[in-house]
């Protein structure tokens, strides 16, 4: 016997299957004849041929007539209206023509053979396709991720110390389960990792498996949802069946909200399949033995939409928050991602961490990569601090549009606009310090004024939010004071200022309305409309308070710009000449103009 392997065997089976289908079709055509060669005879023509002796035989099948002429040609026809099959058969028999009647219970052996050949051929093709791509029908075997070739440990995940401390207990349970079970303890069956995208939830799950040295079965929640009903539930059963055989192990479901959303919404085929898969997941998690060493871990950034049954004790009963890192965490994350990157002595990772507030671990990894690419483009062997500055500006504000064609009046207006922002930020004590001012277009912005906080902010005071509004209004005020009008460039500033003012009134209680939350909730039944939880009178008061807060911010900006016209003009000239100034250069310009920080 020949021994075919791999792709050769698959191709051979496909060729053989296709040949069988073609042979079956050819056999049917040969036996049945080509329909285009069959004559269509009406009753008069048929009787004319019968009188002349040209008809060899005729068969009746209900009202249908089929037969063969003496010349070998085949013909078909119908019994005419008003005539009977028996009378017509008698007339033909009188002329010596063989007459047959089709039996309703008879079996056509040719048709059976042809159908059998085609069925076997199609079955063979289907078998080959299932063997080639078993996942299409939910029969695939989920393979454990090989953590030995690319081990991930807790040392590779930094900036999330609280989450790592909580997961250390899971590691100990997987290593020495008897330490907990001998006292009657039970480790949580499910651990839900909750946090913004890019904070390292998947990496943490892999690190738990790497520390414990157990198999790691990873799957996405969307893989359980298919167009075929029941496929998702079958995949859930297969996954947990494999996990029981490989225990102790970890089953990790990424983006669990794709399968675990709240049930009871509008019914359609997609939702029914998802809910079946979710129900099977709930049953499987309930089916664990009390001493089973299987831990189900899941990650999501939308825990608010998860079904309550999924979060009850006994299922995902432990929630671990993986939040954005603080400045110390960001520095440690930068140290992890720069281990294999040669750094120039002027690189200060603490300064880089301070300049990246709110960034996640994934964003910091991208920052380091962009800095390395910047150094490579310049042909350097080491990454410098300037590369990190360039990378941060590119990541946060977009690529410089140096090819953008701008007229001199437009450049002057942008310089005045950004000088107004910077001047207000310098004079307001609650505002963040100015880090960089530029009139080079980046992304969709024609100019930027970057402010960096001295420390990470976990909450915002009323004075800070009001100063933000004043800084946003100062660009428009500066244009109006120096040019006599303002342009559309302040549209985004007004939008952001309005958003801050509305949050102050409706969510934070920082207005004359008082400490009350005035929000809108979605209507029941899955509709897209919203229901207000406050009266029309309150809505009018909200609009009045938003207008008052914006007017106060505008008035503050007007006072600052009006009293510091000399500094505004100095900043305008420097920006037109140098286009971009950093914090030190900005401080020199305002000091030369006789200004001191408030």
Q: What is the pLDDT of residues 171-195, one digit of tens each?
A: 888 888 777 777 776 777 889 999 9
What does the alpha-carbon distance between residue 397 and residue 380 come to, in Å, rounded to a whole number? Answer: 25
Q: Compute the distance between CA of residue 104 and CA of residue 563 in angstroms, rounded to an integer.
A: 106
DSSP letter assigned to residue 55: E
Nearest to 304 by CA among 192, 394, 445: 192
Please enumerate in sequence order all residues whose Cβ is within 8 A of that of 119, keeping only pairs 6 or more positions apart, or say none. none
Query: Could you say which architecture CATH assigns to the domain 6-101?
Result: 2-Layer Sandwich (3.30)
pLDDT reported for residue 528: 44
Q: Of the ranges 6-15, 490-499, 571-580, which one carries the lowest mean pLDDT score?
A: 6-15
Would you place residue 524 in the very low, low, confident or very high pLDDT band (cuts 50, 70, 90)?
A: very low
Tokens encoding 363: 């964003």
pLDDT mean over 292-296: 81
Which residues make Cβ contacts (< 8 Å) with residue 134, sequence separation at least 6? 140, 141
Say what the pLDDT of residue 76 is. 78
Of residues 583 and 50, more confidence is placed in 583
39 contact partners, CB below 8 Å, separation of at least 6: 69, 73, 74, 75, 76
Does 413 score more than 90 pLDDT? Answer: yes
- pLDDT, tens digit, 9 for 90 and up, residues 528-554: 444 567 788 888 999 999 999 999 999
Per-residue pLDDT band at 1 (split at 50, 70, 90): very low
Q: Regarding the domain with residue range 408-592, which homologous superfamily does it belong to in the CATH classification? A: Peptidase M41 (1.20.58.760)
From first CA to last CA, the distance across the chain in angstroms is: 92
CA distance 90 to 45: 17
Domain ranges (residues) in the chain: 6-101, 154-321, 327-396, 408-592
For tokens 């080079």, the residue is: 440
Check: CATH 1.10.8.60 for 327-396?
A: yes
User: Which one of 3.40.50.300, 3.40.50.720, 3.10.20.30, 3.40.190.290 gives the CATH number of domain 154-321?
Assistant: 3.40.50.300
Give the pLDDT of residue 131.
59
Strands 216-220 and 64-69: unpaired
Judged against a pLDDT cut of 50, whether residue 104 lies above it is answered with no
Name, of 64-78, 93-107, 207-221, the range with top average pLDDT.
207-221
Q: What DSSP letter does each residue of 193-258 carry, written as one string?
A: EE-STTSSHHHHHHHHHHHHT--EEEEEGGGG--SSTTHHHHHHHHHHHHHHHH-SEEEEEESTHH
Six token digits for residue 77: 């026809």
Evaluate if residue 405 carries a pLDDT over 80: no
Q: Is the pLDDT of residue 475 over 90?
A: yes
Output DSSP code: residue 80.
P
Q: Do domains 6-101 and 154-321 have the same CATH topology?
A: no
pLDDT exceeding 90 applies to what percent of the chain?
A: 25
Q: What is the average per-residue pLDDT within 441-458?
A: 84
Residue 402 has pLDDT above 80, yes or no: no
pLDDT value of position 223: 78
Structure-token pair, residue 423: 């001047």
Mean pLDDT of 425-439: 91
Catalytic residue among 418, 466, 479, 545: 418
Average pLDDT, whole number, for the chain? 80
- Tell me the C-alpha distance between 194 and 255, whole Å: 10
The verdict on whether 255 is a catalytic residue reads no
């Amino acid at each position: 016997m020949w021994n075919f392997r791999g792709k050769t065997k698959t191709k051979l089976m496909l060729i053989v299957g296709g040949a069988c289908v073609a042979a079956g079709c050819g056999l049917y055509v040969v036996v049945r004849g080509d329909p285009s060669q069959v004559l269509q005879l009406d009753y008069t023509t048929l009787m004319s041929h019968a009188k002349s002796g040209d008809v060899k035989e005729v068969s009746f099948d209900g009202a249908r007539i089929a037969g063969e002429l003496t010349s070998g040609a085949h013909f078909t026809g119908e019994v005419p209206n008003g005539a009977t099959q028996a009378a017509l058969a008698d007339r033909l028999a009188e002329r010596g023509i063989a007459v047959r009647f089709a039996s309703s219970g008879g079996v056509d052996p040719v048709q059976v053979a042809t159908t059998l050949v085609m069925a076997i051929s199609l079955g063979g093709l289907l078998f080959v396709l299932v063997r080639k791509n078993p996942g299409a029908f939910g029969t695939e075997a989920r393979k454990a991720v090989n953590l030995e070739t690319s081990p991930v440990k807790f040392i590779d995940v930094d900036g999330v110390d609280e989450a790592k401390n909580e997961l250390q207990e899971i590691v100990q349970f997987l290593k020495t389960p008897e330490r907990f079970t001998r006292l009657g303890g039970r480790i949580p069956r499910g651990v839900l990792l909750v946090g913004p995208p890019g904070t390292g939830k998947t990496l943490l799950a892999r690190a738990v498996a790497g520390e414990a040295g157990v198999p790691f079965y990873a799957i996405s929640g969307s893989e359980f949802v298919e167009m075929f009903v029941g496929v998702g539930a079958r995949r859930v059963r297969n996954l947990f069946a494999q996990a029981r055989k490989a225990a102790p192990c970890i089953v990790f479901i990424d983006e669990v909200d794709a399968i675990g959303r709240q049930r009871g919404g509008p019914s359609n085929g997609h939702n029914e399949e998802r809910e079946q898969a979710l129900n099977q997941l709930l049953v499987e998690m309930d089916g664990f033995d009390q001493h089973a060493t299987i831990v189900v871990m899941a990650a999501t950034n939308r825990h608010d939409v998860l079904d309550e049954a999924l979060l009850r004790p006994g299922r995902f009963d432990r929630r671990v928050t993986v939040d954005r890192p603080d400045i110390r965490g960001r520095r440690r994350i930068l140290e992890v991602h720069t281990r294999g990157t040669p750094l120039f002595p002027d690189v200060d990772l603490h300064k880089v961490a301070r300049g990246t507030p709110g960034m996640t671990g994934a964003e910091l990894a991208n920052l380091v990569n962009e800095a390395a690419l910047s150094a490579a483009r310049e042909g350097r062997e080491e990454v410098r601090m300037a590369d990190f500055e360039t990378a941060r500006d590119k990541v946060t504000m977009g690529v410089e549009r140096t090819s953008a064609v701008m007229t001199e009046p437009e450049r002057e207006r942008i310089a005045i606009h950004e000088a107004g922002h910077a001047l207000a930020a310098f004079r307001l004590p609650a505002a963040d310090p100015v880090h960089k001012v530029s009139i080079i277009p980046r992304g969709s912005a024609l100019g930027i004024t970057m402010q960096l906080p001295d420390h990470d902010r976990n909450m915002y005071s009323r004075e800070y939010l009001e100063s933000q509004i004043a800084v946003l209004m100062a660009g428009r005020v500066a244009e109006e004071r120096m040019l006599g009008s303002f342009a559309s460039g302040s549209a985004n500033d007004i939008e952001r200022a309005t958003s801050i003012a509305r949050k102050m009134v409706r969510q934070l209680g920082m207005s004359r309305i008082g400490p009350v939350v005035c929000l809108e909730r979605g209507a029941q039944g899955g509709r897209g409309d919203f229901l207000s939880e406050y009266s029309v009178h309150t809505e009018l008061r909200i609009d009045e308070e938003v207008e008052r807060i914006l007017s106060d911010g505008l008035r503050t900006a007007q006072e600052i710009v009006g009293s510091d016209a000399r500094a505004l003009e100095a900043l305008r000239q420097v920006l037109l000449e140098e286009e971009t100034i950093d914090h030190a250069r900005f401080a020199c310009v305002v000091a030369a103009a006789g200004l001191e920080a408030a």
